[in-house]
Amino acid sequence: MKKNDEIILNITDYTVEGSGVGKYEGMAVFVPLTATGDTARVKILKVKKAYAFGKLIETTKKSNCRTENDCSAFSRCGGCAFRHISYEAELKAKELRAYETVKRIGGVDLKPQPIIFDKENRYRNKAQYPISQEGKVGFFATHSHRIIPCGDCLLQPEVFKDITEKIEKWIEYYKISIYNEEEHKGLLRHIFIRLAEATGEIMVALVINGESLPFDRELILALKNTVGEKVKSIQININTRDTNVIMGEKCVTLYGTDYITDILCGVKIRLSPLSFYQVNRVMAEKLYLKVAEYGEVENKTVLDLYCGAGTIGLSLARKAKKVIGVEIVPEAIKDAKFNAKANNIENAEFYCDDATSFAEKTSLKPDVVIVDPPRKGLTAELIQTITEKYSPERVVYVSCDVGTFARDIKKFGEKGYRLAEYTPADLFPKTAHCENIAKLIKE
């Protein structure tokens, strides 16, 4: 098999990115936009030593799980991976991915509990939109900074479309310059929108390569006329660095308050443009309930590592004896402390520190340890500290990457912590991402 060959391929599985997978002459071939059960004619684009990448030319036999695509930007926008198959098939694929990865990498042959899920569209409460040089709002194409106009993205609330359309008209009418990342010139870089679903409050922030925004009064009036009293905060975020990082460190409020307020598991949460917050609120509540179930935190001392803005710990605090949260991002810890005070939660403490460093130097003896690390998972040093120094009754592991999750499950097993149960949670429908929550019991 070589580049530009055309082959007939039976699709039997999905990759972690959501591409279909088939075997040809013993070699795995990865093909986007295909579905398990498809027979497809595929053009080979690249051949490596053990695998190849292909492009779908024609589906000669369609899978039973295929469905009609409902988005004109699908296959061009880098957001969704699964708009071409039914949601039922997507959930089964994510369950199977969790089981196979935990078995292959983690060395544990244990089937997951049924996947937790909710609605498949309109679930995101936050969006960050890049802007083309023509002033059109959209999303980046896959593995690219080419901007694909998306109109009404089905993952976002409908009101986000109304807001972006109004901003597009404001850009055009007042000839607002758009940031060019190659030349590091131009003003407007991104549009940030956040919705607090429980209260209906909306925040809009414009990320700019400068210190002020021209015609800001006109923009405020336009957004108020579009959204009404629901828009509680309009801000600029200043990012003058030559970087791909979307948000800068400084925000200036142009209208309304510095933050909006949502309610998660009965806890009021203050949200600024820089706050970390789960983008799927309904599913975050379901995930946190599963964490509480697995942790059995009643009258226990709970250590919450990688706590973000403290949302998991605060959701448990009224049951727990004490909650200690640790997060390296100063803004997140500031939000966590504010949220604890605003909710009259006095048994929660939050520290700004690296999780591994904090664990090594503290003398705490928690009954339960909760970890919610980034995609790279836990360090070997942190696993050793948790299992040998803390030696809690149980560990609850919340993961956004099933590969590093399975790797760490194996390490915990070697330290005497058995994987008792785990549950996939689909916080990101139509994408290839899936969370997993695990209960690890000290043997």
**Residues 304-355: tens digit of each pLDDT:** 999 999 999 999 999 999 999 999 989 899 999 999 999 999 999 999 999 9
Q: Which residue has the tokens 């390296």?
A: 328
CATH superfamily of 90-119+280-442: Vaccinia Virus protein VP39 (3.40.50.150)
pLDDT for residue 75 is more than 90: no
What does the pLDDT read at residue 371? 97
Query: Is the separation of the CB atoms in 427 and 278 below 8 Å?
Result: yes
pLDDT, one tens digit per residue, over 386-427 is 999 999 999 999 999 999 999 999 999 999 999 999 999 999
Q: Where in the chain is the domain with CATH 2.40.50.140?
A: 6-66
Q: Which two tokens stand for residue 168?
A: 């597009």
What does the pLDDT read at residue 363? 85
Q: Which two tokens stand for residue 434?
A: 């899936």
Half-sphere exposure of residue 224: CA atoms within 13 angstroms, side-chain side: 13
pLDDT for residue 364 is more than 90: no
Cα–Cα distance for residue pair 172/274, rounded to 1 Å: 28
DSSP 375: T
Give the pLDDT mean for 180-203. Answer: 96
Share of the chain above pLDDT 90, in %: 91
Q: How far is CA 390 from CA 80, 305, 396, in A?
A: 41, 13, 14
DSSP 111: P
What does the pLDDT read at residue 31? 97
Share of the chain above pLDDT 70, in %: 100
Q: Where in the chain is the domain with CATH 2.40.50.1070?
A: 126-264
pLDDT, one tens digit per residue, over 85-103 is 999 999 999 999 999 999 9
Cα–Cα distance for residue pair 50/80, rounded to 1 Å: 27
DSSP 229: G
What does the pLDDT read at residue 327? 95
Residue 431 Cα to chain centre, angstroms: 10
pLDDT for residue 143 is more than 90: no
For all residues of the chain together, what is the average pLDDT?
95
Give the pLDDT mean for 178-207. Answer: 97
Q: Cite the active site residues.
A: 400
Give the pLDDT mean for 63-68. Answer: 95
Q: Name the pTM for this structure.
A: 0.93
Cα–Cα distance for residue pair 55/68, rounded to 1 Å: 19
pLDDT, one tens digit per residue, over 209-219 is 999 999 999 99
**Residue type for 190, please?**
H
Question: DSSP letters of 18-32?
Answer: S-EEEEETTEEEEET
Question: DSSP letters of 319-334?
Answer: TSSEEEEEES-HHHHH
Query: Coil, helix or strand for 322?
Result: strand
Q: How far is CA 408 from CA 7, 399, 419, in A?
A: 38, 10, 11
Domain 126-264, CATH: 2.40.50.1070
Query: Is the separation of the CB atoms in 409 and 419 below 8 Å?
Result: yes
Give the pLDDT mean for 249-260. Answer: 96
What does the pLDDT read at residue 144? 86
Q: Which two tokens stand for residue 126?
A: 């936050």
Cα–Cα distance for residue pair 405/265, rounded to 1 Å: 25
CATH superfamily of 6-66: Nucleic acid-binding proteins (2.40.50.140)
pLDDT, one tens digit per residue, over 271-285 is 999 988 999 999 999
Beta bridge partners of 140: 147
Give the pLDDT mean for 67-89. Answer: 92
Instruction: Give 360's pLDDT tier (boundaries 50, 70, 90).
Output: confident
Q: Where in the chain is the domain with CATH 3.40.50.150?
A: 90-119+280-442
Nearest partner of 77 among 4, 6, 156, judged by Cα: 156
Residue 56 Cα to chain centre, angstroms: 28
What does the pLDDT read at residue 142? 83
Query: Coil, helix or strand for 268?
Result: strand
